[in-house]
Amino acid sequence: MLEPCKFCSPSTISSAEGRIEMSGRSDPCANTSQGDYEVASPCNHVDLPQTLLEPVLTKRAIHNGWKLRFDTKFLRMTRPSRDVIISEVFDDVSKKTYKIQSRYLFGCDGARSQVVRELGIPLIKKPGQGLALNVLVRADMSRLLAHRTGNLHWVFRPEDMHPPPWGWAAVVRMVRVWDEWMFIFLPAPGADLTADAMEASDEEYLARVREFIGDDSISVELLHVSKWWINEVVAEYYSDGNV
């Protein structure tokens, strides 16, 4: 399921000034009748966050006899021969380091990939675009979205004379239909805030979330707050031998 992206202003998620299809969906204005995902993949697109996908994958893997290791950090690797890879990993529970021999190594370790560092793959980096603040909440917004769904909402509040420096605008991303949401708060364009300037109390984060929802009858539970750097980084290539 890939629902449209909505632009909401003034104020709240329940309003909608404009809508665009997300990149994966067919765009009626485009020359092609298919969206990017549809063209690129033989599979149907499923909008599934890590919290829901990971249990499916781990269950399947365990039932097929795989050994999964959580709390384990990949440290480094060596390749004594073409088809032999020795990975050194750190077990954060036992605090022990040990080695795993394998024929292949898949590095699914994200934007700061240690596997990429080990291979020395050059990265193409665009200038950083500052800090953003993720506020994960449980809030049942099905009523607000009954007639105009959208899994990503750009919400602006031009009527706010003194918005908190960390919360000028928000991208509100559906995590679970329609009761779990990530509020990605963004400072005003050009405001290069430090991590300290993004700090606020849980009550202040929640108050801003409620303002962006714009309906006080919807109860909001704060689940998690974190900060992240907006970066655009692309590896020059994606494999090296069996890695």
Which region, judged by CB under 6 A, interacts with ligand FAD, from 25-33, 107-115, 120-128, 142-150?
Answer: 107-115
Rounded to whole angstroms, the Cα distance separating 243 from 239 reads 6
Nearer to ligand FAD, 55 or 158 (CB): 55
Query: What's the order of all strands across the beta sheet hosting 18-20?
Result: 18-20, 5-8, 152-156, 169-176, 180-186, 131-138, 221-229
d(CA 70, CA 72): 5
Joined together, the tokens standing for residue 224 give 């998690």
**Cα diameter, the chain:** 64
- Window contacting ligand FAD (CB under 6 A); options: 1-9, 109-117, 137-145, 210-218: 109-117
Listed residue (180, 171, 178, 173) closest to 223, CA to CA: 180
User: Per rule CB under 6 A, is residue 173 in the interface with ligand FAD?
Assistant: yes
DSSP count for the chain of H helices, then E strands: 4, 12
105 and 243 Cβ atoms separated by less than 8 Å: yes
Q: In this chain, which stretch among 5-13, 26-34, 37-45, 108-116 interacts with ligand FAD, using CB under 6 A?
A: 108-116
Q: Which is nearer to ligand FAD, 157 or 173 (CB)?
A: 173
**The pairing of beta strand 233-235 with beta strand 5-8:** unpaired
Residue with CB nearest ligand FAD?
A: 110
Would you say 11 or 134 has its CB closer to ligand FAD?
134
Which of 228, 233, 234, 238 is in the footprint of ligand FAD by CB under 6 A? 228
Q: What are phi and psi of 124, to 5 degrees?
A: -95, 115
Binding-site member from 102, 114, 149, 242 for ligand FAD (CB under 6 A): 114
108 binds ligand FAD (CB under 6 A): yes
Using CB under 6 A, pick the residue from 110, 120, 127, 189 that binds ligand FAD: 110
Q: Is 229 in the site for ligand FAD (CB under 6 A)?
A: no
| Residue 110, both tokens | 């994200």
Among 7, 37, 74, 168, binds ligand FAD (CB under 6 A): 74
149 contacts ligand FAD (rule: CB under 6 A): no
Site stretch for ligand FAD (CB under 6 A), options 6-14, 55-63, 105-113, 155-163:
105-113
CA distance 45 to 15: 27
Q: Are 113 and 240 in contact (CB under 8 A)?
A: no
CB of 104 to ligand FAD, least distance (A): 16
Out of 109, 140, 202, 232, the only residue in the binding site for ligand FAD (CB under 6 A) is 109
Which residues form the interface with ligand FAD (CB under 6 A)? 73-74, 108-110, 114, 134, 152, 173, 184, 228
